[in-house]
Amino acid sequence: MKRKIAVLLAAAVVANALAGCASSPGNAPENDGENTLTDQQSEDITIASTSVAICEILDALEYEHVVAVPETSRTLPERYADLETIGGSMNPDIEIIKSISPDLVLSPQSLESSLSEQYTAAGISSAFLNMSSVQGMYDAIDSLGELLGKEEQAAALHDDYESYMEGYATEEVEDGNCMILMCFPDGFHLIATEKSYVGNLVELAGGTNVYSNYAGDENGFVSINPEDMIQKNPDKIFVFAHYNEKEAFAYMEEEFKTDSTWQYYDAVKNNEIYYLSSDMFGMSATLEWTESLDYLKPILYGE
């Protein structure tokens, strides 16, 4: 079964939307050209999810064969509420995953660099979903639908996405130049480009990222010197936290008040600083992305 999953991911799924088949068991046979699973086989794949957002996607696909979920303070879908947990999203417990022995572990692409080698060393079949943009998430949903025999459910979700975007026509935003900061509680921040999830949301909502087209890291973030940031002089500054939101926001609020550099920014002078809750603005796309766009719209358009 695991060999067939790896083959399908490599031949049919990864190319479309999954960021990659990070690993497969070291003793898996070579690809013999087979690239399909029967309906029964695909519906029986057992999955461990390291992400709440991926759990929500699997739930929306009505998939029953999820066997493990991440530890989280958030509410998991009811159908997965009593499953065994496998540690935090950023640092899942490899030994617990091995003991459960799922056919496939799914994680966000943003964690591929930190988890891929661990999965490979443990002989765990895994794949990383592109959750760094709304479009990427729905491409991943389409591919999961194909893999798991849930094409109908995936198509319905994709149709809802397209219908919403058709009704969310954006116009040119006056004073719409935006800078997006991801802040950390231990006293620093990074710039979010349009390749990050929050950057993608701001772009979809009609904002113009002043650091659009900058080469950031694999997750769409970049460190910029203060002099360059001043030259950009954004109309609005959006702030979100990588973790520990309360302390991270407190750090940025103090920075804006006490660091004289920030006083050169029109956004600071005009009190156009917006703190984005982690409930709607995180590292990875979620099915609640429409709420995020609805939140941004009045900020950008003044409605």
Superfamily of domain 177-301: Nitrogenase molybdenum iron protein domain (3.40.50.1980)
C-beta of residue 286 within 8 angstroms of C-beta of residue 250: no
**Which residue bears the tokens 């943003």?**
110
Which residue from 52, 271, 284, 302 is spatially nearest to 176, judged by alpha carbons? 302
Residue-wise pLDDT for 108-134, tens only, equals 988 888 898 999 999 999 999 999 999
Instruction: Please indicate whether the domains covering 2-165 and 177-301 agree at the CATH topology level.
Output: yes
- CA 281 to CA 288: how far, in whole Å? 10
C-beta of residue 146 within 8 angstroms of C-beta of residue 203: no
pLDDT at 62: 96
Give the 3-state secondary structure of residue 267.
Answer: helix
Q: What is the mean pLDDT of the chain?
A: 84
CATH topology of domain 2-165: Rossmann fold (3.40.50)
Range of weakest confidence among 31-35, 50-54, 72-76, 296-300:
31-35
Cα–chain-centroid distance for residue 238? 18
Per-residue pLDDT averaged across 65-72, rounded?
A: 95
C-beta of residue 207 within 8 angstroms of C-beta of residue 235: no
Angstrom CA distances, 286 to 29, 108, 157, stand at 35, 11, 12
Annotated domain spans of the chain: 2-165, 177-301
Residue 63 has pLDDT above 50, yes or no: yes
Give the chain's count of helices (H) and strands (E): 12, 12
